[in-house]
Amino acid sequence: DAKTTQPNSMESNEEEPVHLPCNHSTISGTDYIHWYRQLPSQGPEYVIHGLTSNVNNRMASLAIAEDRKSSTLILHRATLRDAAVYYCIPETMGGTSYGKLTFGQGTILTVHP
């Protein structure tokens, strides 16, 4: 499993963009970069994932460095509902490692009104 480094915590103001960084320098060529978040008292929730190219969906954008050793999750306009722990998980999914997501410590995001 690739090792990840994320800031322990970050803060943002409501309606401002948030850039959550993740270093994964030991990522393998077949690992996708997955981001999940966990709101208080809930199960984790899928946010986005990608392999090489930048990815966008309705929740967020994922910017992946050209060497794939780091990535950044971008929340374009933070809301109070985005306050959560954000996990960056490099993982080869499907096949024999069917869904073996290994969570690191994550980043606690606090959003101020």
Partner 1 sequence: DTEVTQTPKHLVMGMTNKKSLKCEQHMGHRAMYWYKQKAKKPPELMFVYSYEKLSINESVPSRFSPECPNSSLLNLHLHALQPEDSALYLCASSQDGEILLFGPGTRLLVL
CA dist., res. 71 & res. 53, Å (int): 11
List, in order, residues 6 or more apart from 85 with CB less than 8 Å away.
37, 38, 106, 107, 108, 109
**Count of Cβ atoms closer than 10 Å to residue 18 Cβ:** 21
Question: What span, in angstroms and rounded, lies between the C-alpha atoms of 78 and 16?
Answer: 6
Q: Considering only residues 23, 32, 59, 74, which one is a binding residue for partner 1 as defined by CB under 8 A?
A: 32
Q: How many Å apart are CA 44 and CA 25, to the nearest integer? A: 24
CA-based R_g, the chain, Å? 13
Closer to partner 1 at the Cβ: 47 or 75? 47
Q: Does 7 bind partner 1 (CB under 8 A)?
A: no
**Which among 8-16, 21-29, 70-78, 99-107 is the span making contact with partner 1, rule CB under 8 A?**
99-107
Binding mask 49-88 for partner 1 (x = CB under 8 A): x-----------------------------------x-x-
Q: Is 100 in the site for partner 1 (CB under 8 A)?
A: yes
How near is the Cβ of 14 to partner 1 at its closest, in Å?
Answer: 25
Q: Which positions touch partner 1 (CB under 8 A)?
A: 32, 36, 38, 42-46, 49, 85, 87, 93-95, 98-106
